[in-house]
Amino acid sequence: MESLIRGGTRWKRFAVVMVPSVAATAAIGVALGQGALAASFSVSGQQFKVAAQDLQGEGFVQYGALDIQHGGKPVPVAVSAFDSATITGLCQSVVVPTPIGDVTLKLGAGNGGKKVEAKNLYIDLDQLDADAEFTDINIGVAAGDTEQGPGIKAGDKTDPGSFAQEARKAHLTGVQQTAWATSAGTFKLSGLSMSVKMGSGQKLECF
């Protein structure tokens, strides 16, 4: 992870991160109470963890890009994109340093027989562990010539002629990844839960 400096600047960052998250979660709770949720969102600017028990994706493409982080620091990532995805056991966690110690924000959904559904899903990652099965895979295609997936994300810094791979279907289990950004056209988070706890580490984070 990027070097973290404790002090007033990080405390302001903590407030900026946490207040919108709590407000957004309240809005999500209302939507879930009405039985449906379709929302666009993105999470970026700091490395975080994403885990899933099972991900079934349609229209998969993966290519290299540069994420431009807060302060203009470029970070090389592999972008995994899906036309649509159904996820079981989704978890996202981020650790925010504050003057009183680390605080872990953790979100979970798609448990207890429920599913998370996403369309036009993009995950900018720099590490991935999973068991994967691909259907009709095409390896070594140029990023600008792929026929599967939602295409290169608008604003991504990438070479259209660079290496990419694609598949009609992708099935991943036991997913553990570190990412810099996640975005989706729509996300339906069934059974959403959120926790904010002091500390960090494997017991508080997704893994």
According to the model, what pLDDT value does residue 45 have?
A: 65
Number of structural domains (the chain) is: 1
Answer whether residue 204 is part of any domain.
no
| H or E element that contains 166 | strand 163-189
Q: Is the pLDDT of residue 75 over 90?
A: no
Is residue 103 within 8 A of residue 96, CB to CB? The reply is yes
Residue 72's pLDDT is 67
- Let me know if 131 is exposed, middle or buried by CB neighbors in 10 A (0-12, 13-18, 19+): exposed
Q: How confident is the model at residue 191 (pLDDT cuts 50, 70, 90)?
A: very high
Phi, psi of 145 (to 5 degrees): -115, 10
Residue 77 maps to a domain: yes
Residue 205 within any structural domain of the chain: no
Q: Tens digit of pLDDT for each residue in 131-173?
A: 999 999 999 999 989 999 999 988 888 888 899 999 999 999 9
Q: What is the DSSP letter of 157?
A: B
Q: What range defines the domain where residue 150 resides?
A: 8-198
Residue 123 contacts by C-beta under 8 Å, 6 or more apart in sequence? 50, 79, 80, 81, 177, 179, 181, 182
Residue 31 binned pLDDT confidence (cut-offs 50, 70, 90): very low
In a domain, 207, yes or no: no
Residue 67 domain-assigned? yes
pTM given for the model = 0.79
